[in-house]
Structure formats: structure tokens, C-alpha cells
Structure 1
Amino acid sequence: MRILFNTPFKPLDHERLSGDVTIARDLYDYLIRRGHEVKPCPHVPALWIYWKPWLWPALALIRRKALVLARDFQAGMVLTYHTYYKAPDLIGPCLREQGTPYCIFSGAYAIKRSAKLKTWPGYHLNRRALLAADHIFSNKSSDHHALRRLLPDGSHTYLRQGLPVERFVFDPRARRAYRRDWLGQEIGGEERPVLVTAAVLRPGVKVEGVAWVIRCVAELRKGGLSPFLVVAGDGPGRKELEALANEMLPGQVRFLGLVERDRLKDVFSAGDVFVFPGINEGLGMVYLEAQACGLPVVATSHAGAVDVVRHERTGFLVSPFDMTAFASACARLCTDHALRREMGQNAARFVREQHDIDVNYAMMDSVLQRIVERSGRFPFSESLHQESR
């Protein structure tokens, strides 16, 4: 099957690796491994584009390029990763109008966005895309439930988020090497708990989340514990966080900067607990990656973690903004080695059993192929051939 892969929010080659880009790349790679021919769709930044009229001419050009590419490529399907009110899919519905089967992976719907002028255009453009799709796959249970208010049963499916689990495996050699680098030759270095957090350090909820972790570790040290904190990630908020760490935890925090995804397993292998509150987190791929390497998680029940962390089995999910509960969960894992080990083993097993990308996305692949087969014709009308000449 030939698939045109569309990403309205961020292009596949976006310079800043985030959860959205990671999920899109994993999906793209999965489709190729399944033997499909996949081409990225021409990209125009769709974020708030309905309030950026200077981008509308570029959108019109990109739309036309996408139509011509899909015709020349003989695309049997256009698959869009992630459409929502801020960055609605403006390409897929156009291709669908020309007869191309159209599906969405991660489509969000929130009727409350129709109540404000700022988000009203995005709400309706996103709604148009959702209604145009032949099928929608949701990787968040909350998105799946919300779509029931708009779409009939059978037109959308919940899929547990997939992870290429073979890329995230505990490495004992990395553990020894990294801990020796972080903790030196101090006595009891292996027993000293290492807390790991990872995020793109951009202003907003990411920086606030890491700052929360720094304050939490400071509280733990006030209570007589001695955890060491490792921060993986880079961004414009790094200096602010380094200043906070120097003030509250001098000499007890290591900032690693940007860590390539294939090296994250080494960092996670060297840690003992993964901690990040995840306020307003879209899904939280990093929770899956850390758990796959055997780390129990401490997060909040606010958003993305609830779909990928099992409370009291693979970690702890506490109420949002409750520092006492968050610190208590971290302290429990820092002091109870047996519990930490048990939860870590549960976490690695849970990801492999419930979130293996090759297992979870197989049903999606079957649905895509059935839709293309059911279309029964070359997916472009004669009018498009004439228009593009």
C-alpha cells in the first residue's frame, strides 16, 4: 500500500524532538517495516494558521503540491498523525474530496473549543477533518471517549500507544559506567537512589515540571534522604533550571543536555526511579521508554500518564499539584529497594506486554488495508488530473 503521511502540527524532521515527533516517527517507521511505501506529505505549519493570514498563500500552494504528489505517487491512503483545534488537518480533507481514502491517527475533539472566539475557527476546521475521515485511531482513552460525541460507533478505534520495545532494554554495563560518572567512587554509590527526569526544557509546563522535580528532591533531602537527580534534555529553560538546582541542591543534580533517543536507554538503565509530574502532558511517551528499561514512575494523574502507567503496579500516580503526595511516593521508592525492584520489573513487563508497537498497531494496519481495498478504484478523480495539468 502506498501511504501519504501527513503531520499538520510538526514535520517529521522537526529539529526539536518531542513526544509528538517521536510518536509520528515511530508510526512512520512501523508502516515502512510492514512493507508499505510511505512518503511524507508537504508540510505547512498549521499551528494557529487560521489567525495567520500571511501563511494562507503558502497553504494553498502546499495543498496543490500534496494533491499532485498523491496523484503521481498513486497514493492509496492519506494518513494524518494528530489533528486538533490548534493545528487542524487542512490537507487530508482535500484529498478525501478527490476520492482518496483518509484516516487519522490521534484525532482530538473538544466541544468546549467552540465557545471562544480564539479557538472557534480551529474547532470547526478540526471537526471538518474528523468528519471527513474514513476511520480515526485514538492513542488516548480520553480522546476516544470524546469522539463518541461526534462520530458513530465503528468509525473510531482506541489503540494503546505503541513503543519499539527492542530499542529500550536495560543495559547493566551502561548502568555501571553512568553511575560511576555521576557519583564517582563514593561508598554506597550503587545503593544511593538516582532519580531521572527527561523533558524538552522549554518555558511552560516542561520547565515547570522539572522545577517541580527539583523542589521535590530538595524536600526529600530535608527529610534525611540523599537522592541524586539526573535531568536529560535541553532547551531555552535550561539556565533557569540550573540556577534553581544550584540554589536548592548544590552538587546534587546533573544536567545531561540533549540525549539522543537511542542513548536514553543507557540513562534510564543507570537510574532507579523516573519522576516527572506530566501536567498537561499529551501522552507521555517518555514514561513508556523509562518503564521499558525497568524504571518505576512517579507522576500525576492529570493527563497523559494515566494511559501508560499502572498506579501501584508500575509506579505511583498522585493528585496534581500535591507536593506532599508526590514527595511521599518518591521517598517510598527511594527507601524500599524491594518495592522499587518489583515495580521496575512490573514496568518492563507491562510495556512489553501492553505497548509493543508491532502488536498494538497490527489491527490499525488491517483496517487501513480494508479501507483501501473497499475503495475499489484509483483514488483520484479525472477533475484532479485536469486541474494539475
Structure 2
Amino acid sequence: MRIAFYAPFKPLGHKNPSGDLAIARGLVRYLKEQGHTIEIQSILRARWIYFKPWLWFLLLLHFIRCLKNLTSNPPDLWLTYHTYYKAPDLLGPWICKFLKIKYVIFQGIYSTKRRRKLRTIFGFYLNRAALVRADHIFINKMSDFKNLKRIISKERLTYVKPGIKPDEFKKDEVSGKKLRKQWGVKTCPIILTAAMFRDDVKTKGLSWLIKCCAQLIKLKVKFHLVIAGSGEMENELKAIAQDYLPDHHTFVGKIAPGQMFEFYSSGDVFAFPGIRESLGMVYLEAQSCSLPSVAFKNGGIPEVIDDQKTGFLVPMYDYRGFSEILKCLLTDDTLLKQMGENAASHVRKHHDIDLNYGRFEQILCQMSA
């Protein structure tokens, strides 16, 4: 099957790692492994494009180029990954209409509150037009599935659990010990966290976590916080960590995706608040490496962390609750081990991409037949 592919929010080659990018790359990789041909149609990023007139001409050029390239040899279908009000798909619906081919969306998002604000109303209607035009939409978050049911018939909607390749995220004791030695933290329990240091909820979440961990010092809990990531807010985060966690933290910089399992293998607990986190693929990766995860109970996080079995979900901004749970995990070896085992088992049973995406591929094949 030949599939025309487009990711309007963030192209596959984007330099900054994120959960969205991990899902998109995993999706493409899975399809290729099943023997399908994926043809990237555009790398034009459509984020806030309706406010960027200098991109409108470029959009037209990309449209003409795609139409010209595909007219003589149309693909079996068009697959768009992630369209929503900030980055609506402005290519796929029209290309598919002209070529009379199936238009499919993976991770379409619909929220009526976006039509109530002047800043987002244009994106709302442009995105809605793409959604209602789709022949089928696959959703990996239940809240988005429920929202889409308001405008899309159930026959055109399919929920797919998010997944990773668990074999690529196994706990490696040797690598973990090597990193602990490198960081000078041989015996002290380690709390791991990771995120891009962007000037948004990622940095707010990290800042909150650092301050929350300061409560552990008051509770006389032994720990060391290891923070992975990079970005424009790095100096600010380092200053906050120095103020609140002197001698209790280490920044390790940006870690390559292929080495993240080594990072997870060095720790005892993974903690990241995840303010308005859409899903949080990082939690799946950490749990797959036998790490219990602690996060806020919001967004799509409850769909990847089984509360009180593979980790703990805490009410938003509950300093006391968050720090008490971290204390409990770090001082109870039996609980820590059991939850780590539960976490690894949970990911392999419910979030294995090769199992979860089977139905997705089956529907695509039926549509292209």
C-alpha cells in the first residue's frame, strides 16, 4: 500500500523531541515495517499559519507540487498525522478531493471552545473542515474520541491505545550503574525527570517539581533529582534548582532517543507533573523500564499510568500529596519493586505498538482495497 503522509503540526524531521513527534515517527515506522510505502508530501509546518500570510504562497506551492506529483500515480490513500486548531491540515482534504482518494487522519482533535475566541476561531473552522472531510479518523486519547463523536459518525472513528516498542525500553542494570557512577550518585535513590526546557508548561512543570522535591529535604528523605533536557529556559531552571535543591540535583543535558532506556535504567522513580499533558509518551517509556511514575491527574496521563498500580496520579499542584508519594516510594523498597514490575508488565500488555496498531493497519487496508 502506498500512503501519502503529512504532519502539519511538526514534520518528522523536526529537531526538538516531543511526545507528538514520537507518536508520528512510531506510526510511520510501524507502517513501513508492515511493508507499506510512506511518501512524505510536505514538510510545511502549519502552526498558526492563518496568522502568517508569508506562508500562504508557500502553502499554495506545496499544494500544486503535491497535486502534480500525485495526479499521474495516485497513492492508495492520504494519511495526516495530528490536525487541530493551531495546525489544521490545509493540504490533505483538497488533494484527496481532486484525486478522489481516501483521506485518513490519525489524532484529530476537536474542541468547540476554540470557536469562542477571536485568536482561535479561524483555526477551529479550518480544522473542523478537515475533520468532517475525513473518511476515517483514528484517535489515541479517549477525551478526543468523545469530542469527535459530536460531529463524526461512529463508523468513521476508531480509538487506538498509544504504544511504544517495549523491547527498546528495557531496564539495563549495567548502563544504569554506569550513569550513576558518572553522576557521582552511587547509592542515593534517584528521581528522574525529562522534558524540553521550553518557555511553557514544560518548564513550569519542571520548576514545580524542583520546588516540590525541596519538601523531601525537609522530610529528611535521601534522594537525588536527575533532570534530562535542554532549551531556552535551561539557565533559569538551573538557578531554581540551585536555590531549592543545592547538592541534590544534576542536569544531564539532552539525551538521544536511542539512549533514553539507559537514562531510565539509572533511576528509582520517574516524576514529571505533566501540566495539560496530551498523553505523555515519556511515562510509557519510563514504565517500560520498570520505573513507577508520578504525575498530575490531568489530560491524557490517566490513559498511560494505571493509578496506584504502575504509579500515582496526584491532584494538580498538590505539593504535599506529590512529595508524600515520592517519600513513600523512595523509602519502601517492596512497594518500589512491585510497582516497577507492574509498570513494565502494564506497558507490554496494553501499550505495545505492534499489538495496538494492528486494527489501525487492517482498516487502512480495507479502505484502500
Q: TM-score range by the shorter chain?
A: over 0.9
2:42 alignment partner in structure 1: 42
Q: Does 1:356 align with 2:357?
A: no
What secondary structure sits across from 2:118 in the alignment? coil
What are the equivalent positions in structure 2 for 1:1-389 lying under 5 Å apart?
1-72=1-72, 74-98=74-98, 99-184=100-185, 189-190=186-187, 192-373=188-369
Give the TM-score normalised by the residue count of structure 1: 0.93
- The CA distance in 2 between the partners of 1:68 and 1:322, in whole Å, is 55
| 1:2–1:77 CA contact under 8 A, matched in 2 | yes
Aligned partners of 1:197, 1:118: CA distance in 2, in Å?
Answer: 33
Whole-angstrom CA distance in 2 between matches of 1:101 and 1:162: 25
Q: Give the aligned residue type for 2:225.
A: L
Contact 1:230/1:255, CA 8 A, preserved across alignment: yes
Distance 1:4 1:316 in 2: 40
Distance in 1 of aligned mates of 2:73 and 2:337: 51
Deviation of the 1:68 alpha carbon: 2.2
3-state SS of paired residue (2:3) = strand
| 5+ residue gaps, structure 2 | none
Q: 2 CA distance for matches of 1:116 and 1:198?
A: 33
* Corresponding letter in the other structure for 2:266: A
Distance (Å, rounded) in 2 between the aligned partners of 1:213 and 1:302:
16
TM-score (norm 2): 0.98
Find runs of 4+ consecutive structure 1 residues off by over 6 angstroms: none
Deviation by residue 1:355-389 (Cα, 9 ceiling, x = unmatched):
1111100100000011111xxxxxxxxxxxxxxxx
Q: In the alignment, is the contact (CA less than 8 A) between 1:197 and 1:275 conserved in 2?
A: yes
Q: Determine helix, strand or coil for the equivalent of 2:346.
A: helix
Secondary structure at 1:338 match in 2: helix
Instruction: Please list the CA deviations of residues 323-369 of structure 1 after superposition, one character each: whole Å capped at 9, or x if unmatched.
Output: 11111111111111111110110000000110111110010000001
The one-letter code matched in structure 2 to 1:100 is I
Q: Deviations over 1:114-161 (max 9, x none)?
A: 111111111111111111111101011110011111111111011100
Aligned amino acid, residue 104 of structure 2: C
- Matched residues in 2 for 1:340 and 1:130: separation? 44
**CA distance 1:72–1:223, shift in 2 (3 Å):** farther
**Secondary structure, in 3 states, of the residue corresponding to 1:119?**
helix
The number of residue pairs the alignment matches comes to 368
Contact 1:96 1:132 in 2 (8 A): no
Of all paired residues, the percent bearing the same amino acid is 43
